[in-house]
Amino acid sequence: MQSPTVSTARRRRRGLGPAILLPLAVFLAAVGAAAAATASPQDAAAMQAVAVALGADKALGWDTPDPCSPKPWPGVGCDSDGRVTAVQVGGKGLTGTLAPEVRNLTELMRLEVFSNRLTGPLPSLAGLNSLQVILVHNNSFASIAPDFFKGLSALTAVSLDDNPFASWPVPADLADCASLLNFSANSVNLTGPLPDFLGAMPSLRQFHVAMNYLSGPVPGSLASLEDLWLNGQQGSPKLSGSISFIANMTKATQLWLHSNDFTGPLPDFSGLTSLYDLNLRDNQLTGPVPDSLVNLKTLKSVALGNNMLQGPTPAFGTGVVQDKSGIFQFCLPDPGKPCDPRVNLLLEVAAGFMYPYKLAQGWKGNDPCTGFVGVECNNGNITSLSFTNKGLTGSISPSISKIATLETLVLSGNNITGTVPKELADLPALKLVDLSNNNLYGQLPAFRNNVILKTDGNPNIGKDAPPPPSLPDGSGNGTKPGDGSGGNNKGSASSSVGVILGSVFGAIAVLGLIGALGFYCYKRKQKPFGRVQSPHAMVIHPRHSGSDPDMVKITVASGNANGAAASNQAYSQASTDPRDIHVVEAGNMVISIQVLRNVTNNFSQDNILGRGGFGTVYKGELHDGKKIAVKRMESGVMGNKGLNEFKSEISVLTKVRHRNLVSLLGYCLDGNERILVYEYMPQGPVSQHLFEWKEHNQQPLEWKKRLSIALDVARGVEYLHSLAQQTFIHRDLKPSNILLGDDMKAKVADFGLVRLAPSDGKCVSVETRLAGTFGYLAPEYAAEPVSSLPYKDTQ
């Protein structure tokens, strides 16, 4: 979140001509005029106290008597009644404290003191019912007032991240903030459980509480949230219990639950039709990955490692970036390859018992007859299941009756509920059934006389009486165990598994925690919020939202990305293995060479669309029929020049996006290969329509179309010159670099020679050679003495 004044000031300052000076002057005049009113005495007094405590009297010149006139103190906003409405001093190197008098600024709408080194308590803001935005993150506040949020009824966004608060619970007053959209409180020593009222907050969309000390189960009521970060809780226990609450979160786009103590199976994902980023790493989840997740069309990024997930390795689509690091317990490594039928049968049995962790952990590989815990075989046929004291809950799945060779079934000393399925009596080879010391009820099936049956320690066995009604645990309609027999006793099964596992895996968890903490601190020291990426990650992301579902998002993971994506990343790094960091910047666009070979028929001659200065452009067709243009740099120019071209082009194309500029869909850097993937422009270059129309059996361009093409090009160039984040000079604007779509709309292409104009108007480095095609350079660019050109190399 950035303050609007800052961004307005930074935006479009780099105009190329005097044209923008006029609007700028008007803008400045307007600001000056609005600010003349004298501050109200109440606000003036409060601001004096705030100024002194922050040290802003000295650091920012807040030392005049009136904070609003003759002009407002820098970073202070006043309205026409002389009321202070904004205090925006993020990142000013302030080292003081925030005075409690800030609470007297009753018209305050924005409070931004983020990224300073402020200490002391964060005072109460109770009652400031105009306050909309609070950004106090990245400071050293030692505590937060217990009634900080009381009565903040207009609050829409709050960011508290990265403050060393004394431990505090998620405050109940938050429930007053009925307008709250974004709540961000990562790394602020939050403790205790997540309160139930979160689900009742009508507008809450984003809830970020990563890297705290939260514990206990997640309330099942978070259905309205879009963006949930619970990852990396650092206490013991962490957040725990079932993740079945997810099934209800139909608006979710990003779910980060990694590095916690969640247990049990994955829920049904079919309702989560907007989910694109799911991170469940480093938990104790069990059971198979449901098809409803694998088939989720919106999914772009998934991390499941270091759990005990079972069944086949999921075969996610090529558009999904998978974090494949960590331990996996899938039956076979090959994605989509089905497990041995005997393994599938055992999984059905385990499903009835809510996929207990002990069984998941003890069942490695694809042959149940070689060392599956509790399973014994004869000649490759399962003859015995013996799960004494394995912490089983749930119920006995009738699927057991499909193991026709079963002779022995021992389930004693667990907490199995429900009835004994009648199908068990049909097992032809059965000799021993030991169900003692569980919680079963109901009539026993009619086993044959030669079957030894033990049922002692089940107080309700033989009784028809229904079991005590199981308490709902907010687990929703997640995974249905087994064939859904046995009864409705999903109950609190998974949370009790959590408790048991808490101690069993305590040692593992502590080791992991130390690793995660160590790594987190290390990361922060090194490069506080730097994004770590693996250079050879080869992925293609379909765009997750927006009008055209076939479009692919453009952002490329370049080393210097910063801003929101970068700080997001910081919280995805709570993994136990520092090497495991995965790239999840939304839209990161690396495409594997293999994919590109496939779509271009191995760069076949027949697919060549054209040859340019630095490479050959091939036509490619994706499996869904969408066409792409694949520009492969000539290996001959693969010296520095080619690499520089490539980098230049990527760095420009990732910073600009406009309907009159050809979009980059992805790229590939693999060994010597340098490949850029663009949208395909079916009508080819304008040069063809101007000069070669006869050869192509086309009509000459109508004048109206020429005009509209010229306008399109002008729009694209205008954007490059003045509207993009930075100012770019194309330097090679010629008809062969202007491409046409089917609607004859034109887009500017070939950014290989683009130069970045400095944003501050100062000469940063001097261009020493002219580049581009003579005749297509801007005349003033070609004519001016080279040394006076302020353009700087992009590299």
Catalytically active residues, by annotation: 732
3-state secondary structure 641-698: HHHHHHHHHHHHHHHCCCCCECCEEEEEEECCEEEEEEECCCCEEHHHHHHCCCCCCC
Distance CA(448)–CA(445), nearest Å, equals 9
Answer whether 441's CB lies under 8 Å from 461's CB.
yes
Kindly identify the residues of this chain, within the stretch 242-281, that bind ligand NAG according to CB under 6 A.
248
Give the CA-trace dihedral at 733, 735, 738, 741, to 10 degrees. Answer: 170
* Segment interacting with ligand NAG (CB under 6 A) among 219-227, 612-620, 635-643, 758-766: 219-227
Regarding 352 and contact with ligand NAG (CB under 6 A), the answer is no
**Residue listed under structure tokens 């009008």:** 547
Distance CA(119)–CA(110), nearest Å, equals 20
The secondary element (H helix, E strand) that includes residue 740 is strand 738-740
Regarding 439 and contact with ligand NAG (CB under 6 A), the answer is yes
> Residues 675-694: x/- map of binding to ligand NAG (CB under 6 A)?
--------------------
Regarding 101 and contact with ligand NAG (CB under 6 A), the answer is yes
Torsions phi, psi of 182, nearest 5?
-120, 125
Compare residues 418 and 512 and give the one whose CB is closer to ligand NAG.
Answer: 418
Distance CA(791)–CA(757), nearest Å, equals 5
Structure-block tokens of residue 755:
């130069």
> Residues 24-63: x/- map of binding to ligand NAG (CB under 6 A)?
------------------x--xx--x--------------
Compare residues 156 and 485 and give the one whose CB is closer to ligand NAG.
Answer: 156
* Segment interacting with ligand NAG (CB under 6 A) among 56-64, 324-332, 375-383, 717-725: 375-383
3-state secondary structure 425-478: HHCCCCCEEECCCCEEEECCCCCCCCCEEECCCCCEECCCCCCCCCCCCCCCCC
The minimum distance between CB 101 and ligand NAG, in angstroms, equals 4
* Segment interacting with ligand NAG (CB under 6 A) among 358-366, 378-386, 674-682, 710-718: 378-386
Quote helix, strand, coil % in the chain, to nearest 5. 25, 20, 55
CA distances from 314 to 214, 309, 320, 757 (A): 31, 10, 11, 47
Which of 124, 260, 567, 727 touches ligand NAG by CB under 6 A?
A: 567
The minimum distance between CB 684 and ligand NAG, in angstroms, equals 39
The minimum distance between CB 542 and ligand NAG, in angstroms, equals 20
Burial class (CB in 10 A: 0-12, 13-18, 19+), 713: buried
Compare residues 190 and 720 and give the one whose CB is closer to ligand NAG.
Answer: 190
Q: Three-class SS of residue 182?
A: strand
Which of 19, 202, 379, 465 touches ligand NAG by CB under 6 A?
A: 379
Q: Is 259 left (phi over 0), alpha (psi -120 to 50) or beta?
A: left
Regarding 380 and contact with ligand NAG (CB under 6 A), the answer is yes
Which of 64, 69, 95, 156 touches ligand NAG by CB under 6 A?
A: 156
Where b means 16+ CB within 10 Å and e means fewer, 298-328 reads bbbbbbbbbbbbbbbbbebebbbbbbebbeb
Distance CA(465)–CA(130), nearest Å, equals 59
Regarding 153 and contact with ligand NAG (CB under 6 A), the answer is no
Compare residues 108 and 599 and give the one whose CB is closer to ligand NAG.
Answer: 108
Give the CA-trace dihedral at 657, 658, 662, 667, to 10 degrees. Answer: 10
| DSSP string across 511-568 | HHHHHHHHHHHHHHHHSTTPPP--TT-----B--SSS-TT-B------TT--THHHHH
Compare residues 164 and 371 and give the one whose CB is closer to ligand NAG.
Answer: 164
The minimum distance between CB 204 and ligand NAG, in angstroms, equals 10
Regarding 232 and contact with ligand NAG (CB under 6 A), the answer is no
* Segment interacting with ligand NAG (CB under 6 A) among 5-13, 373-381, 631-639, 665-673: 373-381
Regarding 221 and contact with ligand NAG (CB under 6 A), the answer is yes
* Segment interacting with ligand NAG (CB under 6 A) among 218-226, 535-543, 637-645, 737-745: 218-226
Burial class (CB in 10 A: 0-12, 13-18, 19+), 400: buried
Compare residues 181 and 373 and give the one whose CB is closer to ligand NAG.
Answer: 181
The minimum distance between CB 482 and ligand NAG, in angstroms, equals 14
Regarding 166 and contact with ligand NAG (CB under 6 A), the answer is yes
Compare residues 46 and 590 and give the one whose CB is closer to ligand NAG.
Answer: 46
* Segment interacting with ligand NAG (CB under 6 A) among 14-22, 253-261, 490-498, 705-713: 490-498
Compare residues 477 and 698 and give the one whose CB is closer to ligand NAG.
Answer: 477
Of 447, 494, 457, give the one whose Cα is nearest residue 472.
494
The minimum distance between CB 533 and ligand NAG, in angstroms, equals 18
Answer whether 156's CB lies under 8 Å from 131's CB.
no
The minimum distance between CB 185 and ligand NAG, in angstroms, equals 13
> Residues 389-428: x/- map of binding to ligand NAG (CB under 6 A)?
----------------x---------x-x-----------
Count of positions on this chain that bind ligand NAG (CB under 6 A)? 40
Regarding 494 and contact with ligand NAG (CB under 6 A), the answer is no
Kindly identify the residues of this chain, within the stretch 497-536, that bind ligand NAG according to CB under 6 A.
528-529
3-state secondary structure 558-625: CCCCCCHHHHHHHCCCCCCCHHHCCCCCCCCCECCHHHHHHHCCCCCHHHEEEEECCEEEEEEECCCC
Kindly identify the residues of this chain, within the stretch 177-196, that bind ligand NAG according to CB under 6 A.
181-182, 189
Of 115, 232, 231, 96, give the one whose Cα is nearest residue 163.
115
Regarding 660 and contact with ligand NAG (CB under 6 A), the answer is no
The minimum distance between CB 567 and ligand NAG, in angstroms, equals 5
* Segment interacting with ligand NAG (CB under 6 A) among 56-64, 320-328, 471-479, 653-661: 471-479
Distance CA(430)–CA(427), nearest Å, equals 6
CA distances from 635 to 448, 638, 753 (A): 77, 5, 18
Compare residues 42 and 534 and give the one whose CB is closer to ligand NAG.
Answer: 42
Peptide bond into 535 cis (omega under 30): no
CA distances from 54 to 40, 49, 50, 97, 163 (A): 21, 9, 6, 5, 17
Compare residues 104 and 408 and give the one whose CB is closer to ligand NAG.
Answer: 104
Distance CA(350)–CA(397), nearest Å, equals 8
Compare residues 134 and 713 and give the one whose CB is closer to ligand NAG.
Answer: 134
Distance CA(495)–CA(242), nearest Å, equals 6
Compare residues 183 and 614 and give the one whose CB is closer to ligand NAG.
Answer: 183
* Segment interacting with ligand NAG (CB under 6 A) among 58-66, 110-118, 145-153, 277-285: 110-118
The minimum distance between CB 151 and ligand NAG, in angstroms, equals 15
* Segment interacting with ligand NAG (CB under 6 A) among 67-75, 217-225, 728-736, 739-747: 217-225
Structure-block tokens of residue 17:
């001509």
Regarding 622 and contact with ligand NAG (CB under 6 A), the answer is no
Compare residues 405 and 534 and give the one whose CB is closer to ligand NAG.
Answer: 405
Which of 236, 370, 477, 594 touches ligand NAG by CB under 6 A?
A: 477
The minimum distance between CB 476 and ligand NAG, in angstroms, equals 3
Residues that bind ligand NAG (CB under 6 A): 1, 42, 45-46, 49, 101, 104, 115-117, 138, 156-157, 164, 166-167, 181-182, 189, 206, 220-221, 223, 248, 379-381, 405, 415, 417, 439, 474, 476-477, 491-492, 496, 528-529, 567
